[in-house]
Structure 1
Amino acid sequence: MDAVAAAGEAEGDARVGEFWRGLGLPGLVDVHTHFMPERVMAKVWAYFDAAGPLVGRPWPIAYRYEEDERLAVLREFGVRAFTSMIYPHKPGMARWLNGWAAEFAARTPDCLRTATFFPEDGAADYVRGELAGGARIFKAHVQVGGYDPADEALDAVWGALAEARVPVVVHCGSGPVPAKHTGPEPIARVLARHPRLRLIVAHLGMPEYTDFLDLAERYPGVHLDTTMAFTDFVERAAPFPRAERGRLADLGDRVLFGSDFPNIPYGYAHALEVLARLELGDAWLRGVCYGNGARLFGV
């Protein structure tokens, strides 16, 4: 990174604190950040660098730092609680990722202990084990995993999560590139079976925003995270319908800030400032950026 670019990034990063202080908040809660085993993160970054089939466009990583530096950056931003969004793409991977995430959370007290799962033998057993061990949030990535979330192999998993009332962030929308089991219909079948599930729809369900707003209105446990939504990078390809802003305002107590840090192609401040552009009011912003997440996770 040249000196001019570095100075520009530093200036943008300084605006993060200005943003939440201007709202009178004690900081931020970010429900969608990625910390993974080093070799897994390296493979994820390589996939983004190559603009792989599930990315579909050039995607420079803005915060390509070592783990300790990434943690320091989030803390300097004033992020009081965050996650280690992990996700398997094949059988046998989830247990190992969960073990790593448990150790990471144990040495990183401001990280909400995160876990994941895959449709495989024993999934319900290890999910129950993670719940008993203190997992506070789960991640499911339907696009990368390539599985139907309504697969019978996951029915007991969703049931355990619904009973425990532990939130699960699910990438189930068809952005940035649709896959066989993305879109609202497969996850709607899950919710029909488990209506008490605390499901957080990643990326506001882009690009099927309206359909996922419908699900949130139908099921009181459905939340939406703002990850990458409204940013200039996304709006060019999948703009949020202006006519739906009123519904987003009405669901304000179930909208949560997410960033996708560090895997974003722009500065962190931009992800916050685009929320202010919506003109939904400071009370809405305070809930989205801190209050809703703090209440949901008891932080």
Structure 2
Amino acid sequence: MTEAGAGEGAEAGGETEEVRGFWRRLGLPGLVDVHTHFMPESVLRKVWGYFDALGASSEGPAWPITYRREEAERLALIREFGVRGFTAMLYPHKPAMARWLNGWAVEFAGRVPDALHTSTFFPEPGVERYVQEAVDAGTRVFKAHVQVGAYDPTDPLLDPVWGLLAEAGIPVVIHCGSGPAPGAYTGPEPIGRVLARHPRLPLVIAHLGLPEYEEFLGLAERYPQVRLDTTMAFTDFGERFAPFPRRALPRLAALGDRVLLGSDFPNIPYPYVHQLHALERLALGDDWLRAVCHDNGARLFGL
């Protein structure tokens, strides 16, 4: 399905049934989405403002926020889609922000029990202490954003954090690829050095490492605890600026037990169902789709 076709279905009110029909056809009880964004409303509005400005720029792609709705409406919709496990990906862009975000995350997890309690961190004094506090509070997944945070993942301040999370076995969904724009510390080399030091660290590489897909596949092949999420990969939008090399599809198929559905809901410029159709049209088989869209995430988080 093209983006336009999916959009028309959504406008007609049929997207919910399209999504539910997708996972029902596969014999699944629903979906597990490891890359969705819920955060304080003031922060989310700024994120939306960034994408609005990007779309208004002559240098950036048009990026309409498909699900620009109030939190209660977004929660209702993702539940209607049948997403039985989802995250609250949130991330700081400066010091003294992560601990505040983590406090909000505790409150959100308390009132939204079907959301996986998500926390974050930043390389700053005291980071190990507040990450431990988040773990003690029941965090089930962390989000790290090397590009937005503009930090080196090998920063000595983070070394005890990586060690703590490797020991605890808590996954970290990390945006460390160089898309949509490279940063000083993006790409496979810096995070590869972290993994060399902490080989049991359960990282989930966001966006399949877009655009350095093959290099991040290599890290997953080398480190058994490394996984990849599908966020925006293979969609018409993603393929326009960072096409996945078709020669790498057999490697992706072989890692079928460590690829996880991610969507970027609600901050996507196309309907949610388009991500599912983009995965389906890879023609890697129903077993692969079942694993990616539900079973791998359910196993990782014990759902």
The reply to whether residue 67 of structure 1 matches residue 75 of structure 2 is: no
Do the aligned partners of 1:173 and 1:182 also contact (CA within 8 Å) in 2?
A: yes
1:78 to 76, 79, 82: 82
Do the aligned partners of 1:9 and 1:267 also contact (CA within 8 Å) in 2?
A: no
Map of 2:102 onto structure 1 = 98
Change (3 A) 1:177 1:37: same
Map of 2:136 onto structure 1 = 132
Map of 1:205 onto structure 2 = 209
The reply to whether residue 220 of structure 1 matches residue 224 of structure 2 is: yes
Map of 2:150 onto structure 1 = 146
C-alpha separation in 1, matches of 2:124 and 2:10: 48
Do the aligned partners of 2:10 and 2:271 also contact (CA within 8 Å) in 1?
A: no
Structure-to-structure mapping, 1:1-299, within 5 angstroms: 8=11, 10-51=13-54, 56-299=60-303
Question: Identity of paired residues, percent?
Answer: 68
C-alpha separation in 1, matches of 2:284 and 2:229: 16
Question: What amino acid sits opposite 1:87 in the alignment?
Answer: Y
C-alpha separation in 1, matches of 2:188 and 2:13: 38
Do the aligned partners of 1:13 and 1:268 also contact (CA within 8 Å) in 2?
A: no
Is there any run of 5+ residues in structure 2 with no aligned partner, and where? 1-6
Give a deviation string over 1:33-70, Cα, whole Å, max 9, x none.
000001000111011100089x9322110000000000
Question: What amino acid sits opposite 2:111 in the alignment?
Answer: R
* SS of residue paired to 2:64: coil
* SS of residue paired to 1:227: coil
The CA RMSD measured in Å over matched residues stands at 1.4
Please, which moves more after superposition, 256-265 or 43-52? 43-52
CA displacement at 1:23 relative to structure 2 = 0.2
Change (3 A) 1:162 1:9: farther
CA displacement at 1:7 relative to structure 2 = 5.8
CA displacement at 1:132 relative to structure 2 = 1.2
C-alpha separation in 1, matches of 2:258 and 2:9: 36
* SS of residue paired to 1:51: helix
Do the aligned partners of 2:90 and 2:143 also contact (CA within 8 Å) in 1?
A: yes
CA displacement at 1:9 relative to structure 2 = 5.5
Paired positions, count: 295
Give the structure-2-normalised TM-score.
0.95
Change (3 A) 1:206 1:166: same
Do the aligned partners of 2:92 and 2:98 also contact (CA within 8 Å) in 1?
A: yes
C-alpha separation in 2, matches of 1:213 and 1:185: 13
